[in-house]
Copies of this chain bind each other. A is one copy, B any other.
Amino acid sequence: MASRDRNLTEKRILEAVGKIVEAEGFEAVGVNAVASVSGVSKVLIYRYFGSIEQLLAKYLEDNDFWLNTEFPVMQYDNVKDFSKAIFRAYIDMLRKSPALRKLYRWEFTTNNPAIEKLRERREQTALKIINAVSQQSGFSLDRVGGISTLITASVSYLYILSENCGVYCSLEINNDSGWDKLLETIDFMFDNIFD
């Protein structure tokens, strides 16, 4: 596009990555695709980012998934409400971000340093929360960890699937009605557990 502005073209390239990711997922981010969507010749992609891997690493770094999301701090008087809030936040995060859904999908088929790093952060964040809830509730780490796993994994699965499939177990996962029911189920679970 001949703008002769490195910063701008780098921005254009990264924006193109974002567009492709949100529309088709990380699997579709190739040199040719990025070049054509950004309108920048692919030579510059290699020149400025080295490789697609590095370009994606930069993209992930910029849109720092997980780190930018504020999880509700322990500001509730009881653990039950805190727990409910945590998973509400998790659901919200995935609902709002098509890119995050695509990232979780990508994780199923790919292994690279960037993904490893994201996994580590996820583990750290999870551990922190699990520790807090465990201490406050008196439940063992395994107990709290098991429940957290159950819920977050489920939510992730359903959100990824919802992009291709409208119903799972009679639950409408492509509109709010299904998610309301699921939230209600989670609340019900905690109501039963914390008593």
Residues of chain A at the chain B interface (Cβ within 8 Å) = 25, 27, 105, 107-111, 119, 123, 126-127, 130, 141-143, 145-158, 160-161, 163-165, 167-171, 181-182, 184-186, 188-189, 192-193
Contact of A169 among B25, B123, B157 (CB under 8 A): B123
Residue on B nearest A163 in the bound complex, by CB: B108
> Once the chains are docked, how many angstroms separate the CA of A18 from the CA of B152?
31
Tell me the nearest residue of chain B to A193, going by C-beta: B192
Interface of A is mostly: helix
Q: Is the CB of B185 within 8 A of A147?
A: yes
B107 with A169: CB separation less than 8 A: no
Instruction: Decide: B154 and A168 in contact? CB cutoff 8 A.
Output: no
The answer to whether B150 and A186 touch across the interface, beta carbons within 8 angstroms, is yes
**Bound complex: CA of A167 vs CA of B121, how far in Å?**
12
CB-CB nearest 5 A-B residue pairs:
A146-B185, A157-B157, A154-B154, A153-B154, A153-B157
